[in-house]
Chain A
Amino acid sequence: DIQMTQSPSSLSASVGDRVTITCRASQSISSYLNWYHQKPGKAPKLLIYTASSLQSGVPSRFSGSGSGTDFTLTISSLQPEDFATYYCQQSYSSPPTFGQGTKVEIK
């Protein structure tokens, strides 16, 4: 199975901050990398697919980049509704695997 490793595991930030989360795959996954966020008690929500494509309805402050094994999710200006846990997921091969999550908390 492909292992996905996110960093950091958690971070504290203020509204308006630029936030970056990284995700590394244990082998090359081309651009088959998705990003989700999840608020407490809620289902995950797709933000970015194929590394850099913005899901319909997702604000443009979210962006993704990378290919091969190293990927980045950037929130250009953190908003109150963005405090959540973020997961990367590889969709390159079965089984689809997730990173362990990055919790974004209010500073």
Chain B
Amino acid sequence: EVQLLQSGAGLVQPGGSLRLSCAASGFTFSNYAMTWVRQAPGKGLEWVSTISGSGDSTYYTDSVKGRFTISRDNSKNTLYLQMNSLRDEDTAVYYCAKPDCTSTSCYTQDSWGQGTLVTVSS
């Protein structure tokens, strides 16, 4: 059974930093690109970032480029999202998600973590 267990939620001041983690099990982690999706309070879903299975290729939505870094440790089956220079508008529940195929251009997410709340506020 695929499991994605997230950690790292927290309250941070504007301009601060936070790192989210997503521990994966039940599938060959290194074979799959992985994605972060966020959801602001009361709002819809927004794709944030994707990393290839090897970690060599990364992709970001424009609003987080230069501030967020996606990474992975395939030896630990863990995905990360390092968030720096956080803004009020980054407040959201962040989900890690696994696609249904192994290509980096697989955008159908068939498994999701439980979500972690990031609150940016002074």
Chain A contact residues, CB within 8 Å of chain B: 32, 34, 36, 38, 43-46, 49-50, 55, 87, 89-91, 94-101
Q: Are A91 and B108 in contact, with the CB atoms below 8 A?
A: yes
Complex CA–CA separation, A50 to B45 (angstroms): 19
Q: Are B47 and A97 in contact, with the CB atoms below 8 A?
A: yes
B27 contacts the other chain (CB 8 A): no
Could you jot down 25 A-B contacts, CB within 8 Å? Answer: A32-B107, A34-B108, A38-B45, A43-B95, A43-B113, A43-B114, A44-B45, A44-B95, A44-B112, A45-B112, A55-B110, A89-B45, A89-B107, A89-B108, A91-B107, A94-B50, A94-B105, A95-B47, A95-B59, A98-B44, A98-B45, A98-B47, A99-B44, A100-B44, A101-B44
Output the least CB separation between A24 and chain B (Å).
15
Chain B contact residues, CB within 8 Å of chain A: 37, 44-47, 50, 59, 61, 95, 100, 105-110, 112-115
Complex interface: chain B residues within 8 A of A49 (CB): 100, 108, 110
Nearest residue in B to A91 (C-beta to C-beta)? B107
Complex interface: chain B residues within 8 A of A101 (CB): 44-45
Nearest residue in B to A85 (C-beta to C-beta)? B44
